[in-house]
Amino acid sequence: MITPQSQIKVNLPVNLKEFIESKAQKFGMPLAGYIKHLILKDVGDMDYPVFELSARSEKAYKRALKAQKQGKLIDVNDVDEFFKKL
């Protein structure tokens, strides 16, 4: 499975960047990998946010699940119109 990725640009003072690069080299890691490690270490004890499904989305999910169990396929010619009807 491919995880969606995003990029973040961070401006650092030159001295701090050089210090972080030396720490990354000490562990044999590229700079980006070391920074990612620091972030994961920082948020490792946090719970991933969980959001409750809206009543409308739950109803649509149950309809779709029921249709799937009955072997029905949904013909979608106009995606925008399909999502408006949900």
The number of angstroms, rounded, from the C-alpha of 41 to the middle of its chain's C-alpha atoms is 17
Domain co-membership, 80 together with 59:
yes
- The tally of domains found in the chain comes to 2
Q: For position 27, what pLDDT does the model report? A: 94
Structural domain containing residue 70: 55-85
Q: Tell me the DSSP string of 1-30.
A: -PPP---------HHHHHHHHHHHHHTT--
48 in a domain, yes or no? no
Written as one letter, the residue type at 70 is Q
The list of the chain residues with pLDDT below 50 reads none
8 in a domain, yes or no? no
80 in a domain, yes or no? yes
Q: For position 52, what pLDDT does the model report? A: 87
Q: For position 34, what pLDDT does the model report? A: 96
3 in a domain, yes or no? no
pLDDT in tens, 55-77: 999 998 898 888 888 887 777 77
